[in-house]
Structure 1
Amino acid sequence: MTPGTTTAPSPWFVRPPSADAPARLLCFPFSGSGASAFSAWPAAIGGAEVCPVQFPGRENRLAHPHYGTYEDLADSLVEPLAPLLDRPYAVFAHCAGAMPAYETVLRLAARGLPGPECLYVSAQPAPHEASRDRMLGLTEPELRAELEAFVRGRGIEPRPDMIDLGMFTLLRDHAAAGAYRRTEPVRLDCPIVVLHWRDDADVSPEDLEGWRRYSDSVEFRVVGGGHYDFMDAPDELLESLTSWR
């Protein structure tokens, strides 16, 4: 085994987690994206190693079968995550990534594995209110237009082949989001920090209130920026992500 790594390389991580890190921050991407959503983030935040999770069916895992449902994705994550839970850790999830993140934390607890010190959820209504997501009501042409606008917003002129590839992933992720149903909240043992982006036109503070039912300790914070500005790792966000340490 290479010094400084915990195990042999896992497809669930774009880089092997370090054995020397005192703590870890597991990061779940949003629908249609992958671990590259965190490519501009520092390697560590507040001493915690940043560990973006790479879902199958995208980026370097494009040839891997899509996870299908959030429940199946969470089931699949328990085994690869288990070796990383030997030290304090927190979980950050943006937008629809909060659903598999929440389901994964539930499954870790059910198997008696260590839970996170904190779950950070960004710009996403609570699981039992996930149907509020505006994207779920969009047609395929409208989703394509959203994807093109997102790419342009990142300073890239979208090529048709690029958008075709993005739609291949986005449509499958979109189907998983549409199929997700949780009618009754199940409380977590860890605190939850709910992040609202001040300039987010899609998700309001009221949309996030449902998270109060998911932990005995729920804190709401407002961060400057728009819906996708988390990708640029703004200082205000990074400061929030150190509060559990």
Structure 2
Amino acid sequence: MSASPWFLREPSQESAARLFCLPYSGCGASMYRKWPRFLGDVEIVPVQPPGRENRFREEPYKSYEALADDLVEVLLPYLDRPFGLFGHCGSALPGYETAVRLQERGYPAPARLFVSSQIAPHDGPHGRFLEMTDAELADEVHTLIVELGGKPRPDLVELSLEILRADVETNKRYHPAEPVRLPCPITALGWDQDAEVDHRLMGSWTDCGETTFRVLEGPHYRFMEAPTELMDTLLAGLTP
């Protein structure tokens, strides 16, 4: 267990590097439960923002910028070794904003930012979720809970819908006019069967920093299964 509510467990002192992973829209940190704790000597550290799972009584952030403002201070004591940031779809954007804040405050820079299934910040907002009704979003929550291996009970669907709606509204408000170019390299990951974000729309990440593109096999939610090609890409990106 962790003394900080931002982590499900305290980051290990034995790791050579850390990968901080932000949860997908409508989800909490436990969505990474199928991922290994370590990739070689790189530790996977899921991040738990307010408003979800064990923090559901807390008010969720209304902007990615505000989330990043606080998250960098939480992460700072754990940036004593190489580290990366990972986000998929909506969570790729606060991952980017966190890297921006680290740069602005003169804190250690990530070894790499990994963004999966998301267009560049200045090209958004983007995605069919943005125009969905609550009933349509509830259907998506139902699907997501099943993908996570859970049972979509009505109370769980209702709670997850509140989180997802808040995340969708936050996404709608996010549209930086000009991207901040990061000092760290970026790996932009697309998925060849992704019905939500076509990987061919991700090209503008080059405006945000030196970017490497890779297209992986599978649909939008496949990342949750910790596919080998994704794990290999993450490990390679954090290995000197």
TM-score, structure 2 normalization: 0.95
What residue number does 1:161 align with? 155
- One-letter code of the match for 2:218? G
Matches within 5 A, 1:1-245: 9-215=3-209, 217-244=210-237, 245=239
How far apart in 1 are the matches of 2:17 and 2:119?
Answer: 28
Instruction: Give percent identity, aligned residues only.
Output: 45
* AA partner of residue 99 (structure 2): V
TM-superposed deviation, 1:225: 1.3
Output the amino acid matched with 1:230: F
CA contact (8 A) 1:23 1:49 kept: yes
1:142-199 residue CA offsets vs partner (Å, 9 max, x unmatched) = 1111112222344544221111111121111111111112111111001111101111
SS at 2:218's partner residue? Answer: coil
Give unmatched runs, 5+ long, in structure 1: none
Q: Is the 8 A contact 1:125 1:133 kept in 2?
A: no
Q: Across the two proteins, how many residue pairs are aligned to each other? A: 238
Contact 1:126/1:208, CA 8 A, preserved across alignment: yes
In structure 2, stretches of 5+ residues that fail to align are none
What root-mean-square deviation, in Å, do the aligned CA atoms of Structure 1 and Structure 2 show?
Answer: 1.4
Deviation track 1:32-78 (CA, whole Å, cap 9, x = no partner) reads 11101111110111311110110100001111221221111011112
